[in-house]
Structures are given as C-alpha cells and as structure tokens.
Structure 1
Amino acid sequence: MDLGQHIGYVDLVSLVGETNRCPGGKRAISRLAQTLHVGPHHRVLEVGSNTGFTSIELAAITGCRTDGVEINAAAVEEARRSAAALPARIAERVSFHVGDVRKLPWDEETFDVVVCGGALGFVEGREPAFSEIRRVLRPLGMVSITHLYYRSTPPASLPNRLADVLGFRVPVYGWKEWLEELAPAGWELYDFTRRPLAARPTEVVDAYAEHLTSSARIQALPPEQRDRVREQWRHACHVFNDNHRHLGVMDLVLRRPLATGVPEQPELFLEPGVYDRYFTHEFVPLAGTENR
C-alpha cells in the first residue's frame, strides 16, 4: 500500500480498519435479512463487499453461507482478516474474493440472494453487471441494493469536497433518479423503502476519528505517515458528516422472475407505502404515502 501524500479512500478504510458498514449498520442488515427471507439453507453473494461487514453479519444472524466479491485487494485482505477472527461455526460459512461484478466466477443459478451496499451505482457499465447478477441468481432469487440519495440540495462546494475524498464524483441524484438507474426492466420491484440520515455533532466525529486511528497498526507507522493518515481520516469523516445532512438511504429489493415468458400480472390493491410503476412506467407512491 502506498503511504504517500494521499492514500486512496478504500486503501485508507482498510488501513484504519474501519468496517465501512452499510447505512443503518446492524439494524439495517437485520431488516434486510427479514425482507429477503434469508435462512440457513441460502447462499448469498455480496457485491462490493469491501471489508466484509455485511457478509459476516448476515452469516452470523441467519446461518446462511456468504461470498463477498470486491475489486479492491486491500479491502478483501481486511475482510479475510476479520473472518479469521470469527468463531469457526461462522467463519466456515464466509468467503471473500477479489473480482469484478461484470465478470463473476460462479456458475449459473448459484445464489439465492445478492446484496449490494451501493457499489452498483458506481460501476461503469451497469448493464453487464446486472446481466451477470441475473446469471448467477436462481429464479425468484432476490437482489437488494442499499443506496444513498440526496433528499436536499447540498452546497455547491460539497460535491467537490466529497470527490476529493472518494476519488470520484458522486451524482447529486434524488431517489427517483437512482431508482430509474438501479431498477432495470425485466426485474420485479419487490420492495422499496426510504429513510433519512442525520449528521452527528462535531465532537462525536472527532472522537470517532481518534478512536479508529489510535490502533496499534496506526501507532506502528513512522510518525510522519501516522500523522498524515490520522489527518486524512479525520478530514474524510467530517466531509461525510457534512454530506449526511442532505442524505437519505433507499432500500431497493428486486426479484428475478421465473423464465416462463409470461409476465406476472400487476397488482391492483396495494397497501400504503408501496411504490408501483405498472401502466405509467414511472415509480409512483400511493397517495398519502410520501416518506422522506
């Protein structure tokens, strides 16, 4: 890992040992497991598994077998290190792989569920990615995509600050734009929910950054490198916190239909909170169900 003047964000996350949890953390994963009906006999693929938190938590709470695929080798190394510290009954059901979602190494219809914590939104060529996911997913299998969206317009400077931290520019999309991008034709819209995120007080962010950069791993670095890592991580945490003032998180669940060639009939009577795009070809919440 190059510890020069600036460390790439994913390498920085791996270096400080941050688990890079999905928005909502363990509570979100618990809700996700229930929505996806994951159980001990299921095999789950996590796309963009990063340092492995979601894969490990799903295996721990449901008894399923999980495979995480991540393009960044440093993140996979950290995920494997975390898995090695697990009790054997969990560790034996968790695997992590370096790979690209656009060219997955598994056979057709290998997985019951695919989960993604936002990586699909930043894959160049999402059509090949969805094609590969469909290939390795069994009929009636579920795909979960947890993704951030802007619920209010950020200051003009904030997207630039965020791009400096991440190394790429995040589109200033609301939930409707992301939903159109991440729910392609040919998939059933099984579930869709939104909830707001909140910023934390400055002192909480400072304490969090200090905690993660006080580990033995960071303390073992040469002083100049250690100070650089600590300052870069603190800066990144504050940029993310500023961004959270304007963000919400959307949980999108798609299902692969049966390959019968006969489309499923649309539903007429839906409960409040359900999003539908039958007939109008647009995602429309039922009257009185708007959530922010």
Structure 2
Amino acid sequence: MTTISEPMPYVDLLALVGETNRCPGGKRAVSRLAHTMHLGPRHHVLEVGSNTGFTSIELAALTGCQADGIEINPAAVAEANRTAARLPAHIGERVAFHTGDVRTLPWDPDTFDAVVCGGALGFVDDRSAAFAEIRRVLRPLGMVSITHLYYRSAPPPQLSGRLADVLGFTVPVYGWEQWLADLAPDGWEVYHLDRRPMAARPARVVDAYADALTSTPRIEALAAQERARVREQWRAVSHLFNDNHAHLGVMELVLRRPMRDDVPEQPELFIEPGAYDPHFAHAFVPLPESETI
C-alpha cells in the first residue's frame, strides 16, 4: 500500500487526485472563444499558462489549429505531453507543450495568430513584460483571449482566509472592472468582453463530485487510513471552492493587436445595448427602458 503524509499541500493533493485543470467556464468557454476568435486549421495558437493542456487540446480538437502551450511548472508540462501522446494522431500531432516563462517567450516575432490564457496572466509579477512578449510573438490583428474569474460580491473574511490557507496565497477581491484595467493595457483593441455569473452547486452534487474523483485506482492504492484522509480533505476543499463560487463571475475578454502599433483604433459611437464600450463610457451599454417604433 502507498502511504502519504497529512495534511497535504493543495498542489500535491491536486496532483494525486488528478483533477482536470480546466479554464474558467470549461469547454463551453473554449467553444465560445474559438468562435469569437474565428480559429481554424490554418491558425497557430499559443496558450499561456497551459498547465496540463486542457485548453490547447480542446482548441486543436474543435478547430484543427496548431497549438503550443507554455507553462512554468515542469511537472504540469510533462503531464500535458503525456496526455497529448495518448490522443488520436490527428489531434496529438497538433499540440506541443513547453516549460518556460511568458515574460521571455522562445519564439520569433509574428509567430502566432492567437494567444489564449485561462487566468495565469492575473498572477504574473510583471504583466507589462508579459504583454510586451505576447505582442512581439503575435501577428498584427492577432487576438488574445483571457478568461478570468472575478468577484461579483465580496466573500466573508473567514472564507477568504480559508481559501488563502489552502492555496498558499491571498486571492485579490477584484471585480471585473479592476481585472479589466489590469488585463487590457493601452495599445490593445478590446474586441470582445462578456461576463457570466458563477454559482454554488448543491451540497449533494459537490459530495458526488468529490466521491467520483477519489474513487480511482490511484486513490484505492493508498493505505486505508490515508485513503480516508485524502477523501476527507478533497471533499473539504471541494466545498470550500464551491462556497467561493457563490461570489464569483467569469470574464471572457478578447483583445486584438492593431494592424499598426503607431495608429490607434478610431473610437466607435453607435454600440448596441449590452455590448461593452471601451472608448468613452468604459462600461456596458445599458438596455433601453422602453422601445418605440
């Protein structure tokens, strides 16, 4: 029997359980962004913070694009490449994963048609350097999608404290406006912006999910006492994240590099209700109170 220590750091628990590291919104968000960015078989996509490869693999399967992922964690890169090796050849040959830092990308200028990121840019120390590198490797009129969680309402301090204890860092209680200010720097066109509320799932669903992910051969191989501890810890973590999701929303942002860096986008006046105005209001255009014909 395999034995482990208790309590486990969250990253070790995550690796042991083997939870798929999805971007916020999962495959539904990937599908929406692939459509918004008009991706197809001729496109070369870079994923920043690719982790274990979920988004790159989904994009290659959905659109036929070529996808390269870059991730700072070598263990996650190794797992992503192992996953890619098990895929059907027509998908697996279109994805590759590399260990590296977004602030020093190893590709030539104008290599990629699009860049995708599932939230990693929010935790990069020097975002200006990261965006400069993304701009360098992205072709003119290339798009950058950033899918990022934000707080719709402030969580109770006790919940934030428990979350920080598990993650090992404090999650900033930012609304979408604050994240947008950080993640849409000057010189980029805001091509698309959408917000979607997240929600807590019923406790029975969380319990069923926790049980399903801790009933695998890897967990069954643990000694009985350690197996029980892992299941208890994973269930507690799942409920903690579920409680936090009651306060969250997800922001789906698509930026575009201008045709020429020295010519800014001309402002747009007539923007339909419900769309975001990046030029003057810096807000979503309100719906009309009444319509007349």
TM over 0.5: yes
1:39 has 2:61 as partner: no
Task: Answer yes or no: is the 8 Å Cα contact 1:11–1:75 preserved in 2.
Answer: no
1:259 has 2:260 as partner: yes
Deviation at 1:222, TM superposition (A): 4.0
**Which residue of structure 1 lines up, in the alignment, with residue 67 of structure 2?**
66
- How far apart, in 2, do the equivalents of 1:137 and 1:157 lie? 42
Residues 76, 228 of structure 1: alpha-carbon distance in 2 compared, 3 angstrom cutoff: farther
1:146 has 2:163 as partner: no
Gaps of 5+ in 2: 289-293
1:118 has 2:80 as partner: no
Within 5 Å, which residues of 2 pair with 1:19-34?
19-34=20-35
- How far apart, in 2, do the equivalents of 1:222 and 1:211 lie? 18
- How far apart, in 1, do the equivalents of 2:4 and 2:68 lie? 30
**Which residue of structure 2 lines up, in the alignment, with residue 239 of structure 1?**
240
- How far apart, in 1, do the equivalents of 2:201 and 2:63 lie? 31
- How far apart, in 1, do the equivalents of 2:12 and 2:260 lie? 41
1:186 has 2:187 as partner: yes
Deviation at 1:220, TM superposition (A): 2.2
**CA-atom RMSD in angstroms:** 1.8
Residues 3, 120 of structure 1: alpha-carbon distance in 2 compared, 3 angstrom cutoff: farther
- How far apart, in 2, do the equivalents of 1:3 and 1:144 lie? 39
Q: Alignment partner of 1:157: what SS?
A: helix
- How far apart, in 2, do the equivalents of 1:83 and 1:100 lie? 21
Q: Alignment partner of 1:46: what SS?
A: strand
**Which residue of structure 2 lines up, in the alignment, with residue 250 of structure 1?**
251
Moved more, 2-11 or 69-78: 2-11
- How far apart, in 1, do the equivalents of 2:14 and 2:59 lie? 21
Residues 120, 106 of structure 1: alpha-carbon distance in 2 compared, 3 angstrom cutoff: same
Letter in 2 for 1:47: V
Q: Which has the larger radius of gyration?
A: 2
Residues 147, 287 of structure 1: alpha-carbon distance in 2 compared, 3 angstrom cutoff: same
Task: Answer yes or no: is the 8 Å Cα contact 1:14–1:75 preserved in 2.
Answer: no
**Which residue of structure 1 lines up, in the alignment, with residue 95 of structure 2?**
94
Q: Alignment partner of 1:45: what SS?
A: strand
Gaps of 5+ in 1: none
Deviation at 1:204, TM superposition (A): 1.0
**Which residue of structure 1 lines up, in the alignment, with residue 168 of structure 2?**
167
Within 5 Å, which residues of 2 pair with 1:202-221?
202-221=203-222
- How far apart, in 2, do the equivalents of 1:79 and 1:223 lie? 30
**Which residue of structure 1 lines up, in the alignment, with residue 291 of structure 2?**
none
Deviation at 1:284, TM superposition (A): 1.7
Task: Answer yes or no: is the 8 Å Cα contact 1:67–1:97 preserved in 2.
Answer: yes
Deviation at 1:177, TM superposition (A): 0.8
Q: How many residues align?
A: 286
Residues 132, 10 of structure 1: alpha-carbon distance in 2 compared, 3 angstrom cutoff: farther
Percent identical across equivalent pairs? Answer: 69
Deviation at 1:233, TM superposition (A): 2.0
**Which residue of structure 2 lines up, in the alignment, with residue 284 of structure 1?**
283
Q: TM-score, normalised by structure 1?
A: 0.92
**Which residue of structure 2 lines up, in the alignment, with residue 105 of structure 1?**
106
Q: Alignment partner of 1:102: what SS?
A: helix
Task: Answer yes or no: is the 8 Å Cα contact 1:195–1:249 preserved in 2.
Answer: yes
